[in-house]
Amino acid sequence: METHMAISYTTVAPKYCSIQKRPFIVPHHPITLGLSSAFKPILRAIPQIPLQIDASKTFTDIKTKFLNAVVDSAFEFVDQLVLPSQRNFAPVEELGEAVSITNIEGHIPDNFPEGFFIRNGPNPLFGGLKSSKSIFGRTNSVWVEGEGMLHTMYFRRQSDGSCTIVYHNRHVETVTYKLEKQSTKPLFLPAVKGDSLAVLFSMLLNWLRFGQLNKDYSNTNVFEHAGKLYSVSENHTPQEIDIFTLNTLKYWDVNGTWNRPFASHPKKVPGTGELVIFGVDATKPYLEIGIVSADGKELVHKVDIKLDRCSLCHDIGITKRYIAILDLPLIVDSNRLLRGGPLIKYDKEKYARIGTMPLYGDANSIQWFEVEPNSTFHFINSFEDDHEVVLWGCRALVSIIPGPEDGLNESTLFSRCYEWRLNMKSGEVKEKYLTGPEQFMDFPVINGSYTGIKNRYGYTQVVDPIASYAADIPKYGALAKLHFGEQCSEFSAGAPETQEEKFIKVEYHGFERNVFCTGSAFVPKEGGLEEDDGWIITFVHNEDTGISQVHIIDTKKFSGEAIAKITMPCRVPYGFHGAFMPISFFAQ
């Protein structure tokens, strides 16, 4: 791993980062859309488009000028509407250099590990997300789009035991980010949601001009493998990130062996350190799964799952022996565009199933289990229990991707904690809610040492329905600690008739009114003996004062006050997934 001796920084008083003044709208959900091969059937359906292009520089220049002229004359970029309740989704500028943090309420515990807390999220260029208007109709940017920006807190121990804290932010410099940054204006037409003809022609023009349907956002998650840090979203391969400078280094295609999109939630195999990766595409093969060696140098297994449709799968489960695969009815269908329908649609009338594939298995070794139709983006954990594979996840009845047409106005769009028990011998499925009918939550995290094995605790961000309806975007006004081994009778009266067991105990850490969190992570205590020995760390924003903070909550005293509230030197927009990664600065 490339390392540096130190992080240079300056000290500034807390204030807003400057932002570009154009309005926008971008919320925080874990999935972004690329699926470059979605254009292939559309190209086949429009044979009059010349696909064999002369490679000479002169012809290329003429073609580029012509296509740019078509876009400039036929399409108009329009700022998407932003509500006052959405102002902390607005982008911020890069700081340029790291900043020392001194405004701390409370204290950093002595056994809080050295390391860095990093969170990814959308930070769109040119002031915010855009729509486009043309003679073909209108297209809109999907609410999970926007160039990725990393927000990082470094915790470094000094010789006297005190803790120095430094903050830095930086855009993930993908190829398309650099292209638009150099151009100083939007180039890619929104090409996911809108009037079908406009979406089709936007995809076509993006493809002919840039060789891909949409921008590479890299805005959803961050993960570590073999000592290296990667930024990732669904629509492209990950980017390796320098841990200390946040410079974007290179795309990671596992030495040229992974040539398709790379989904946002790879999982490490318990005990081996191997990394299970997967990628969704809009043409066959719709879903492929791979296993990367523990040292990150080799793709040791790759398999086509042989799905019959492009199910938008954002997460997978892992146990010691199995990989759990979601095949749910949130479907990408480019042929549907040709019929005048949307590119992405949740169809609750279609089938839903979960597959269990042995590690190093193939499509023929998958055992499929039919389940109730649902929309699940995140697993809490998965493990084996005798003859059953048990999955805990955050399950909703309707998908909010690409976005509800009538706005965010019903609770069926929010997730509740759910359990599936898949009996590998009998083929039987048992499924039930784990939390009550008004306990909406998502973005789960656990103690990473328990990934793939049975755990007692999980942590989630809790939806504030009223604030979410007002903003038309999910907002999270509390944190929850899930006690899987304990039952709670408080909500048993709201359980469906088929629910035989009581809901699990849920402990809450609430924030003040109009204060919301994003990007939570679990930090294990150095020398901790129990699963919940540690802290939850999360970015928090107060919409009344405009102040952003990082809160550290003792998971043993979860409902109490945060033990540390670290005031940021500038506003930090809401984002997606976060992670804490221990590292020894002295060793560098």
pLDDT tens digits, residue range 301-336? Answer: 999 999 999 999 999 999 999 999 999 999 999 889
Q: Which residue has the tokens 């940021």?
A: 568
pLDDT, tens digit (0-9, with 9 covering 90-100), for 160-175: 889 999 999 999 999 9
Q: Are 551 and 565 in contact (CB under 8 A)?
A: yes
The DSSP H or E segment spanning 388 is strand 388-396
Residue 579 has pLDDT above 90, yes or no: yes
Q: In what order do the strands lie in the sheet with 515-524?
A: 104-106, 564-567, 547-554, 534-542, 515-524
Tokens of 358: 């042995």
Residue 62 has pLDDT above 90, yes or no: no
Predicted local distance difference test score (pLDDT) of residue 489: 64
The rounded mean pLDDT for the chain is 89
84 phi, psi to nearest 5 deg: -55, -35
Q: Are 25 and 81 in contact (CB under 8 A)?
A: yes
485 phi, psi to nearest 5 deg: -90, 0
Report helix, strand or coil for 26: coil
**How would DSSP label each residue in 45-109?**
H-TTS------SHHHHHHHHHHHHHHHHHHEEEEEPP--GGGGGGS-----SSEEEE--EEE---
265 is in an annotated binding site: yes
Residues 6+ apart with CB under 8 A from 469: 408, 409
Predicted local distance difference test score (pLDDT) of residue 548: 98
551 is in an annotated binding site: no
Residue 494 has pLDDT above 80, yes or no: no
Residue 188 has pLDDT above 70, yes or no: yes
Residue 132 — very low, low, confident or very high, per pLDDT cuts 50/70/90?
very high
Predicted local distance difference test score (pLDDT) of residue 15: 41
Residue 68 has pLDDT above 70, yes or no: yes
Alpha-helix runs per DSSP H in 184-322: 196-210
pLDDT, tens digit (0-9, with 9 covering 90-100), for 523-577: 999 888 999 999 999 999 999 999 999 999 999 999 999 999 999 999 999 999 9
Tokens of 213: 């349907």
Residue 252 — very low, low, confident or very high, per pLDDT cuts 50/70/90?
very high
d(CA 137, CA 134): 5
